[in-house]
Amino acid sequence: MSNLTVIIPAFNEEQSLKVLLPELLDFVKQNHLQLIIVNDGSSDATLEVLKGFETSANFQYFSHKVNRGYGGAIKTGIRHSTTKYSITIDADGQHDLNDVLALQNAILETDADMIVGSRMAQKNASIYRGIGKWLIRWFAKLLLPIHIDDINSGMKIYNTEMAKRYIRICPNHMAFSDIIAMVFISKKHLVLEQPINIKPRTAGTSTISTLTAIETVKEILNIVILFNPMRVFFPIAVLSVVLALAWGVPIALNGRGVSTGAMLGFTTGLLFFFLGLLAEQLSQIRRDSVDE
């Protein structure tokens, strides 16, 4: 009986899947795994390629009529997973299938709730993307106590039931990879990291862009406000009050009264502090709904 499902989101991956799928089907059959591929509204022949293998053992595919995004495709795969663990890999052939078994063994041995496949030892495809990934990691660690270096890795293995519970608060686009890891960490689950190998892309081009990075930063901010809103609001409140004092005290000591700018700073600080308290109450309601 299999205890692991391999989930692959596929958007316009016709050429990659023609090469990857035969090998992948042999792999899951030999290792008694399940395979789910989600066609995310592809405009090429991705769906036709999947239909050509629909009678294969241990394999299911699902198809979105319109593109929902990388995260939306993974969510569909997770919802249809019936095994204790699920692992996500990309359809471009860059992930080494041996790492699937390595992460499976690791999660069984450690009883972790998630293990992230870390690409930190691998060279980035470009300096631009390397800088972007570093900035995202830096921003995430600034706002949350995250011990994982490669939170945006597409290869993650996790407890399926936990994933089904938390995907409702994760985004449908590329930021899904970062946010699902942050949610597990924020909920105090055991999240570990293990190095993996990355191979050259089989075919096609990456859909990751500058807009992807901007969306990811926005979603990181959203998830921090959900789990720890004072982490955002309190520093702003303190900074406003400190600036107000720095501006207003010299003016008051010179006998020129209370500065309008200082009053504005104090008011802004109080406003952000009370907004943080309000956000804390609202986030508690949302957190409780996630655990139900």
| pLDDT value at 141 more than 60 | yes
| pLDDT value at 212 more than 70 | no
Mark whether 136 and 268 lie in a shared domain. no
Last-in-domain residue among 203, 223, 243: 223
pLDDT band at 249 (very low <50, low <70, confident <90, very high): confident
Mark whether 139 and 177 lie in a shared domain. yes
213: CATH: 3.90.550.10
Q: What is the pLDDT of residues 35-93, one digit of tens each?
A: 999 999 999 999 999 999 988 889 999 999 999 999 999 999 999 999 999 999 999 88
Mark whether 181 and 257 lie in a shared domain. no
Mark whether 48 and 168 lie in a shared domain. yes
Q: How many domains does the chain have?
A: 2
- Helices (H), ranges, the chain: 14-30, 46-51, 70-80, 97-110, 127-143, 160-166, 176-186, 210-227, 230-253, 260-291
Mark whether 159 and 28 lie in a shared domain. yes
- What pLDDT does residue 142 have? 62
Mark whether 107 and 162 lie in a shared domain. yes
CA dist 147 and 69 (Å) reads 27
Contact 187, 166 (CB under 8 A): yes
Q: Which residue range forms the structural domain that includes residue 278?
A: 230-291
Mark whether 178 and 258 lie in a shared domain. no
pLDDT band at 169 (very low <50, low <70, confident <90, very high): confident
Mark whether 87 and 154 lie in a shared domain. yes
pTM to 2 decimal places: 0.77
